[in-house]
Chains A and B, each alone.
Chain A
C-alpha cells in the first residue's frame, strides 16, 4: 500500500489500483454523512475531482492522483457513509481505477513516510 500527501491510500491489484482515504483523513473529517462517487467508465486527469466526502463538519474532495479510468465504485458508501469512519482502509474503499502502468504508484509514500507526515 502507498500513500499520497493528500491522505489517500493506493493499492495496486493486477493492472488496477484501488483508492481510499487514510485513517488520519477519516479522523480529521469526523462523522462522514454523504459520499459522492464517480460513475464506472468515467475518466479523470491527474488533479481532477474524483469523489466528494461530506462530514458533519465540512466537505472534502478526493482528486485523481494520476490519469485514470474508473472501473468500479464502492456502492456501499452511498448507503452507509459511516463506513468511512469505521473501516477506512478496508470496507470503505472508494474507487477501483485502470491506469496505463501501475508503476505510477511507485512515486508515492511508503507507510513509514506517510506516518511521519501526519504525526
Chain B
C-alpha cells in the first residue's frame, strides 16, 4: 500500500505528540498525548481543535446559467430544498443512489456565486464522479485545492474564535460567511460533528498552521484526534459514512428523513426528482422495515460494529446488527447505534447483542445519547 497523504498540519500533529494512523488514505492523529478520553471530555467542557483537511471540498458553480439553475441541478441528486436555501445558510444532505441508498452525506453551503459541498474523505472520488455524470453541463464541479479545513468545537469555541475573529460569534447555527481572520481569507461556518456549539473553517493551506497554533496559544484550545472525533459524534447520534450509512441504507432507514425537504415529498412543489425517490418517498409514508436506533448495553461491555442483535435471549429472532459502538466518555458507559427491525425499534425495547459467544442485554434508546448544545438562534 502507498504511504498515506499528509495534510498541511502534519508537522503540527507531530509537534503536539499526535499518534499517527492511516485513515481514508491520510496520515492523521488518532489522539495526542492526553489521550482519547481527555480529548473527548475537554471538547465537551471547553474546546477542541480538529484537523479535518482530509475531507473533500467541492465548489459547484454556474458555467453559463444562474445559481437557481445550479440549485435545481443539485436537487436532482439529493432530497433537500436548495432552491430556497438563502446565501450564507447550510444544509446537511445525502446524495442518493437509484436504488435509494446513500452515496455520501454532505454539508452544503450556499455561497453568493457557488455551492460549497463538504464530502467524506473516503468518498471524494465517488462524489466527484457522481456529480460530474449527474449534473447538467451548465454546472462546473470544481474540487477545492490548497485549502485546509479545521473544526473548533465545544462550549469555549465561541470565546476562543472571538479573540481573533470578533465577528464570528454572531454567526447562527448552520450559518456561514467569508471572513478575514488575522488577515487570512476564511470560509467560516457555525457547524460541526460533536453535538457541541462550534465552528468550521476552510482556509488557504499555507496559513492553517499559524492559525491552529494561535487558537491553541491564545484560546487555550486542545488539539483533538480522530479517536475522540468518533466518540463525540457517536454520543451525539451522528452518522459515520461507511458504518452507519452506505449504499445499502436509505435515508429513511437511517433516521434521516428530516433531510427530505417538504417541497420534495409527495404533494410537495418539486416532489421527487432525486435518485431512488420512489422507494424513499414510499418508505416515508409506509415506514421502513428496519431503522437506525440508539442502543445502551445494560452491562459494562461495549457492543462494537458488527455485533449481531437479537430480539430474544435464545438467538431465535435476529433483528439486525450494530453499525457503530464503543465507550462514551461523557456517558461513562458503553453505547451503540445499529439497525433493528421496526418492531423492535421502540424506545425501551429489550434486545440482546452477541459479544464473544455471550448474549448480553441492551435497551433501545432515543438519539442523541447526550444533550446537544448547538448554538440556539
Q: Could you tell me which A residues sit within 8 Å of B by CB distance? A: 30-31, 33-34, 36, 49, 52, 54-59, 85
CB atoms of B35 and A31 under 8 A apart: yes
Q: Which residues of A sit under 8 angstroms from B304, Cβ to Cβ?
A: 58-59
In Å, the complex CA distance between A57 and B37 comes to 10
**4 further A-B pairs in the complex, CB-CB below 8 A; given A36-B301, A56-B36:** A30-B35, A30-B227, A55-B327, A57-B326
Given contacts A30-B31, A30-B36, A31-B37, contact A54 B301 (CB under 8 A): yes
CB atoms of A57 and B30 under 8 A apart: yes
Q: Which residues of B sit under 8 angstroms from A34, Cβ to Cβ?
A: 300-302, 327, 334
CB atoms of B327 and A54 under 8 A apart: yes
B18 at the interface (CB under 8 A from A): no
B329 at the interface (CB under 8 A from A): yes
Q: Which residues of B sit under 8 angstroms from A58, Cβ to Cβ?
A: 304
Q: Which residues of B sit under 8 angstroms from A56, Cβ to Cβ?
A: 36-37, 40, 227, 231, 326-327, 329
In Å, the complex CA distance between A31 and B302 comes to 14
- Number of contacts between A and B (CB, 8 Å)? 40
B356 at the interface (CB under 8 A from A): yes
Chain A binding surface, main DSSP class: strand
Q: Which residues of B sit under 8 angstroms from A55, Cβ to Cβ?
A: 327
Chain B 291-334 near chain A by CB (<8 Å), digits 1 or 0: 00000000011101000000000000000000000110100001
Q: Which residues of A sit under 8 angstroms from B302, Cβ to Cβ?
A: 33-34, 54, 59
CB atoms of B36 and A31 under 8 A apart: yes
In Å, the complex CA distance between A27 and B177 comes to 42
Closest to A34 in B: B300
Chain B 228-244 near chain A by CB (<8 Å), digits 1 or 0: 00010000000000000
Q: Which residues of A sit under 8 angstroms from B231, Cβ to Cβ?
A: 56
Chain B 209-228 near chain A by CB (<8 Å), digits 1 or 0: 00000000000000000010
Q: Which residues of A sit under 8 angstroms from B301, Cβ to Cβ?
A: 34, 36, 54
Q: Which residues of B sit under 8 angstroms from A49, Cβ to Cβ?
A: 356
CB atoms of A57 and B36 under 8 A apart: yes
Closest to A85 in B: B35
In Å, the complex CA distance between A49 and B355 comes to 14
Q: Which residues of B sit under 8 angstroms from A52, Cβ to Cβ?
A: 356
In Å, the complex CA distance between A54 and B231 comes to 14
B240–chain A nearest beta-carbon distance, Å = 15
